[in-house]
Amino acid sequence: MTRRITPKQLLTTWLFFMMAFVVQAQVLKPATWSYDVSKKEMAVGEEVELIFNVKIDKDWYLYSSDFDPDLGPMVTTFSFAKHPSYELVGKIKPVNPKKKYDELWEGEYTYFVGTAQFRQKIRVLQPDLQVKGEYEYQVCTDLTGQCIPFDDTFTFSNSQIKVSGTAAKPTTQPEAKAATQQPQEPTKQQDAAPAQVPDLATAAAASADTDTAAAPAIAATTNDNDTPETISAIPDAAEGTADEGLWAFLLIAFGSGLLALLTPCVFPMVPMTVSFFTNSSGSRAQGILKALVYGLSIIAIYTLVGTIVARLFGADGANFLSTHWLPNVLFFLIFIVFAMSFFGMFEITLPSSWLTKIDAKADQGGWIGVFFMAFTLVLVSFSCTGPIVGSILVASAGGETIRPIVGMFGFSLAFALPFSLFAVFPSWLSSLPKSGGWLNSVKVVLGFIELALALKFLSVADQVYHWGLLDREVYLALWIVIFTLMGFYLLGKLKFSHDSEVKYISVPRLFFAIITFGFVVYLIPGLFGAPLKALSGYLPPQTTQDFDINKIVRQNAGGSTAVVAASNELCETPKYGDFLQLPHGLQGYFDLEQAKKCAAEQGKPIFIDFTGHGCVNCREMEQNVWSDPAVLKRLRENYVIAALYVDDRTELPESEQYVSPYDGKLKKTIGRKYADYQITKFNVNAQPYYVLMDENENVLVKPTAYDLNVNNFVKFLDAGVEAYNNKHQMAGK
């Protein structure tokens, strides 16, 4: 029985193919930029904000500028041409970007939907203001799986800002302007400086300036892993950061406050304090009120600490703390000291004179006395809560300025809650477990966790400065040992001098041991290359793994190493092959001319992969489609592969640079060369985009784009080979 196709189904199918054709055969511009200023009139010496507004088409999103550029997606970057009429103040700041964790990149990135805004503050030094520069960005859509990199120029002048007054001297030091850095051959997309457009000669001359904070030179938002002066933009508290990441941090801080209650310094204080309020007050209502004031005082004290930290460091300080080696090594050592304290080697205590003075204030009674009672609790419990509070403040150092405040509020809320609740409901006190050795066990377990978290800070410094101390397998080995010892401790097989004797294992302790050993078992495959995606934010990148069995399997998928070498032989050493690679052990070129030459020698068609470092859908195609043995076999045996990166910033030799007839701009980098080639040759600017052609650049079959159907991709590759063979047979007749 044949199935009848209804007119509605026929119309839907036709619309789908028309949409697919339009998507693949046009130059898209999903983001429109406009420029504004925070004030139209000003005097020389005053500051003004340059505002970059972006309108983003529906179903598209634009990557922001304030996440790790080594993560993968293309970070939005701005470059400002050096000019005596202004100087930069601070860094470019995105306003309220969204955050998302991506399993493919194994990290968190920021992005905009609908609209976007970036702000850069400058100080005007001369009446004839001229601010020129360029920006690079990437937009993507999940509907068609396309990602498109763009670049453009901007200009701010007296037509937008009316400046009065006489020329002022810049606040920068003269010697800072002369600071230069020898250009290095980049090893990845983010390592090279943004190329300058042809009408910005002064910007090109200033591109070697590295002290962006001290001179009105090029100021990009890319991070340089070889220098501590990172330039990633971090929004401050005034810009608002109420997102998923902040709420998650609040919950973590709240949970830390609950843990602090279970330490030997705090838990016994709960019934004592509550009994004081219920017995010494004139009435139950007054006792409850004093207990509430007591709890609010604890919250106020801790939140004040968070506010002071936020004011001391600010956004720039947070960026320094999260990226520079010195604070990260310092935090590593602090966490080690915290762990040693929790293990019972010594106690971290405050000077006794502080406690005496505060306790005397508490004895005065009244509402002021209640506040100082809360202050006394904070100080007395410091030996147990100090490491936890310090951990929250350190964890918040790498984020926005509001995070320390949120962290301390969440911690103190959980810390103060029982004192107030038990005062309102004193009968609940009878349900509390009795103090005992279990409190010390909680403290020791926290010590193991502090020890594991300490490695994260050392790892950050190790990755940024390439010390090679904590490669991924070393990091995992240490974690496996730490949590294995923690599991044995929970089972009573490992004891410290101040531990109580464990005659039997309680059920909760057994469950914690099971969870701990389960976590250890989860970590073990990571030693052999398992991605461990749930921990990707805490582990060193997988590229630091010396032995990756998954990589070996992928490289040998579809045949032995010998077969791969024979069927995927290159004609010559690929240009840029020292820092660009193909996935799954495939061999190919990153220069079209080399690929054309090799295709002519071997008599094979060319498989062109228009791709990008920051193209998430390109990685999805490689991971889900290219990895299939049927696809790998065809790519290795039937094609010469040319991966053309449209966003790579490696500068071309001067002899290969050219002015594009399409947009009239000078193409100085690999990425701009092949982005221009894709547009002018195929009238398409989105990636991924796959083209099958012969050595004369004749297209063999209709190009394809993002499609996770493996069978469709196999048919596409087979059709290209068939068309190539037919063409050569016709030419031979």
Helix (H/G/I), strand (E/B), else coil: 22: helix
Note the CATH architecture for domain 30-233: Sandwich (2.60)
Token pair for residue 385? 């809560």
- In the prediction, which pLDDT does 590 show? 94
Mind giving me the DSSP string for 450-502?
HHHHHHHHHHHHHHHHT--SS-HHHHHHHHHHHHHHHHHHHTTSS--TTPPP-
Distance CA 675, CA 316 (A): 35
pLDDT at 465: 62
**CB of 190 within 8 A of CB of 70?**
yes
Which segments of 562-679 are extended strands (E)? 606-611, 640-645, 658-659, 666-667
The per-residue pLDDT for 323 is: 53
Burial-class residue 226 by CB neighbours within 10 Å (0-12, 13-18, 19+).
Answer: exposed
| Per-residue model confidence (pLDDT) at position 112 | 92
- Of the CA atoms within 13 Å of residue 267, those in its CB half-sphere come to 17
User: Which of 402, 480, 419 has its CA nearest to residue 448?
Assistant: 480
Phi-psi region of 366 (alpha: psi -120 to 50; beta: other; left: phi over 0): left
Q: Work out whether strand 107-113 and strand 606-611 pair parallel, antiparallel, or are unpaired.
A: unpaired
**682-691: string of b/e by CB count within 10 Å (b at 16+)?**
bebbbbbbbb
User: How much is the pLDDT for 731?
Assistant: 73
User: What residue type is assigned to position 117 of the chain?
Assistant: Q
Q: Tokens at residue 403, please?
A: 């995070």
Tokens standing for 308?
A: 């002071």
Q: What is the DSSP string of 350-361?
A: --HHHHHHHHHH
**Which pLDDT value is given to residue 433?**
63
Please name the residue that has the structure tokens 């998507």: 23
What would you measure as the largest C-alpha separation in the chain, in angstroms? 111
User: What is the spatial distance between Cα 189 and Cα 225, in angstroms, rounded to a whole number?
Assistant: 12
Taking alpha carbons only, the member of 219, 255, 202, 269 closest to residue 91 is 219
Q: What is the pLDDT of residue 500?
A: 76
3-state secondary structure of 63: strand
What parts of the chain have a pLDDT lower than 50? Answer: 1-25, 173-244, 315-316, 318-319, 398-399, 557-567
- Cβ-contact 38, 89 below 8 angstroms: no
Q: How far apart are CA 82 and CA 75, in angstroms?
A: 22
Amino acid 113 reads V
Q: What pLDDT sits at residue 4?
A: 46
d(CA 36, CA 302) in angstroms, rounded, equals 41
H/E stretch holding 442: helix 437-465
* Termini Cα distance of the chain: 46
Across the strands, what pairs with 643? 609
Report residue 204 as tokens.
């090109």
Domains in the chain: boundaries: 30-233, 262-535, 558-732
CA distance 157 to 348: 58
Residue with tokens 């007050």: 281
State the DSSP string of 392-409. HHHHHTTS-TTHHHHHHH
List, in sequence order, every residue forming a beta bridge with 101; answer none if it has no partner: 108
Structural contact between residues 195 and 658, judged by C-beta atoms closer than 8 angstroms: no
Identity (one letter) of the amino acid at 437?
A: G
Chain-centroid distance of CA 209 in Å reads 26
**Cα distance between residue 461 and residue 398, in whole Å:** 13
**Rounded-to-integer distance, Cα 83 and Cα 132, Å:** 9
Which pLDDT tens digit goes with each residue over 168-187?
666 654 433 333 333 333 33
What does the pLDDT read at residue 595? 94
Take residue 59 and report the two structure tokens written for it: 């179903």
**Rg for the chain, CA atoms, rounded:** 31
Q: How far apart are CA 144 and CA 141, in angstroms?
A: 6
**Bridge partner residues of 111 (DSSP):** 63, 98
Task: Note the CATH number of domain 558-732.
Answer: 3.40.30.10
β-pairing, 606-611 vs 689-693, is: antiparallel
> What is the chain's length?
733
Torsion of CA 657, 661, 663, 664, to 10 degrees: 60
Over residues 398-447, the pLDDT tens digits come to 445 577 788 888 888 887 888 777 777 766 666 666 655 666 788 788 88
**Burial class for 696, CB neighbours closer than 10 Å (0-12, 13-18, 19+):** exposed
d(CA 454, CA 426): 40
Do the Cβ atoms of 145 and 688 come closer than 8 Å?
yes
Query: What is the bridge-based pairing of β-strands 41-43 and 98-102?
Result: unpaired
